[in-house]
Every structure is written in C-alpha cells, then in structure tokens.
Amino acid sequence: MVTQVTNFGRSGLADWLVQRATAVIMLAYLVFMVGYLVSNPDLTFDQWKALFDQTWMAAFSTATLLAIVAHAWIGLWAVSTDYMTTRMMGAKATVVRLAFQAGYSIILFYYLVWGIKILWG
C-alpha cells in the first residue's frame, strides 16, 4: 500500500476522511454565518463585535480556520503530487513540485497564525 506524506504514514483513506470532515466544518460555519446575516438584516458593528467577542464563536471560527488550512494542505498536496510529477518528467519536476509545496506551506502557516491572532488577539 502506498502511504502519503500529508499525514505521516497513514493511508490515503485518512486524507479522504480529513477532507470530508473539514468540508463539514466549513459548511456548518457557512450555514451559521449566512443564517446569522439573514436573520439580522440591520446588523450593526456592535452586534457583529458582540458575536465575535463570545468564546464559543472564537472557538468555532478557529476550528473553521484550522479546517480550511488542513483542507487546503491535503488538496494542494494531492494536486501538486499528481500533476506536477506526471505532467513534467525528470528532476526539474521534483524541484518545481517541492518549491510549490514549500511556498504554499509558508502561505498556509502565515494565514493560520494571522487568523488566530485576529480571532484571539
């Protein structure tokens, strides 16, 4: 069985399950936010701030942020290993793929730290 680097030695089934679980978390957040915005058509900044000042909302937002990062990591890793390796041949493909993976790893980490700082700062 081929193991994947995305989750340190587990099978591709684990990646698939993580993708589905993170999609459910993101969908729940989207449904909540759309419902909140529709049910408060005259939303003020003070109401918006009061919502995000609650600990449960910061935790829900953080869980969604982590889900987005995990979802993006697995998706981009799969795309980069499938298409950047098979479409290009040779050592050049490996260099391009690794550079791409390093680049989006840095970007995802930056967005994660930035989001946590915004939510809990």
- For the CA atoms of 114, 115, 116, 119, the dihedral, rounded to the nearest 10 degrees, stands at 130
- Domain extents for the chain? 5-120
Residue 99 to residue 39: CA distance in whole angstroms: 45
Extract the annotated binding site.
Answer: 71, 83
Write out pLDDT tens, residues 99-119: 999 999 999 999 999 999 999
Extract the annotated binding site for heme.
Answer: 71
Determine whether domain 5-120 maps to CATH 1.10.10.10.
no
Cβ-defined contacts of 82-90 (< 8 Å, 24+): none
Write out pLDDT tens, residues 70-104: 999 999 998 888 877 655 666 677 888 889 999 99
Which value, in Å, is the radius of gyration of the alpha carbons in the chain?
18
Q: What is the pTM of this model?
A: 0.83
Extract the annotated binding site for a ubiquinone.
Answer: 83
Residue 80: per-residue pLDDT: 86
